[in-house]
Amino acid sequence: MRIATWNVNSVGARLPKLLDWLGTAEPDVVCLQEIKCAEDDFPYDEVGELGYEVAAHGTGRWNGVAVLSRVGVTEVRRGLLDQPGFLAEGSLFEAPEPRAIAATCGGVRVWSVYVPNGREVGHAHYEYKLRWLDALRATAVEELAGDRPWAVLGDFNIAPEDRDVWDIAAFDGSTHVTAEERKALTALKGAGLTEVYPRALKYDVPFTYWDYRALRFPHNQGMRIDLVYGNASLTGRVTDAYVDRNARKGKGTSDHAPVVVDLASS
C-alpha cells in the first residue's frame, strides 16, 4: 500500500497538478490539507474517475482537509477530541476549524491534519496551536488502543529539529522551531508513535515546503514541516518513504511537496 500526504494549497487551483500526480505516483491513500473548499465543492467526480473515494472536511474559506482512497473509506471522523476553536476576526464565537479528518482505508487508520500556523510567538494563534496539538495527542491516545495500523499525516507547521529548516538563524524568535512546539511533537510520540522519516533523494535534508518568494525552491531554502507519524503496526511495514520534489516544480504548483510512504502487505 502507498500512502501520502500533501498540502495542496487549494484543491481548485491545484486540480490539474493533483490529477496528474495521482496518475503518476498512484498512491492508494492520500491525505490532503488546505483544500480551501467546502465539502460540497470538492472535485469528487474528477478524482473519482481515477478510482478514488473521498472524505472531505471544509467550509470553503481557508483550511480544509480530505482523505482520498482507492482501497475503501470507512469510519470517517471529522475533528479531534475536544478540539479547540479560534476566535477569528469578526467572529462572535470560538468555532473549531476544519483541520482534521480521519478514515480507515484498506485496514489502515489515517488522520489528515493541518496544524494551525501559530503566526507569532505570544500571539493568540500560537497558544491556539499548542492547545490544538494537545487535542491531537488526546485523540491519538483515544484511538491507539489495539494493534491496527494507525498514522497521522499532514502539515504540522513545525520543523522537528534545527536541521529541518534551511537556516535556523533566519528563524530566531519565530514560530515553527520553538521549544514549546517541538515539545508537543515529543508528547505526540509519547502516545506511542514514531516518525516515518523520508529519505533524501537529492539534498541532505528532505524539505517539504519552500516559500514562493525569493526563489526559495531553486535555492532549496525550505523547511521540513509535512510529517508522518505511525504506530508500530504501521512503521513495521514501511519499505520506503520519500518527498516527491518533482510535484513542486513548474508553474501553478503548491508550495509544498507530497510525502510518500510505501507499506508492505500485512
> Binding site residues for Mg(2+), as ranges?
7, 34, 155, 157, 255-256
Q: Which of 144, 181, 141 is nearest to 161 (CA)?
A: 181
Phi, psi dihedrals of residue 18, rounded to the nearest 5°? -65, -50
DSSP readout, 217-243? TTTT--B--EEEEE-HHHHTTEEEEEE
Annotated binding site: 7, 34, 155, 157, 255-256
Cβ atoms 158, 187 nearer than 8 A: no
User: Which amino acid, 205?
Assistant: V
Side-chain-side CA neighbours of residue 209 (13 Å) = 20
DSSP readout, 2-36? EEEEEE-S-TTTTHHHHHHHHHHH--SEEEEE---
CA distances from 4 to 7, 219, 248, 258 (A): 10, 25, 15, 7
Taking the C-alpha atoms of residue 165 and residue 158, their distance in angstroms, rounded to an integer, is: 10
Task: Give catalytic status of residue 155 as yes or no.
Answer: yes
141: buried, middle or exposed (CB in 10 Å: 19+, 13-18, 0-12)? middle
Taking the C-alpha atoms of residue 81 and residue 218, their distance in angstroms, rounded to an integer, is: 40
Catalytic residue, chosen from 28, 52, 114, 126, is: 114
H helical segments located in 99-198: 124-143, 179-190
Catalytic residue, chosen from 52, 126, 226, 256, is: 256
Catalytic residue, chosen from 155, 164, 226, 244, is: 155
So which residues are the catalytic ones?
114, 155, 256
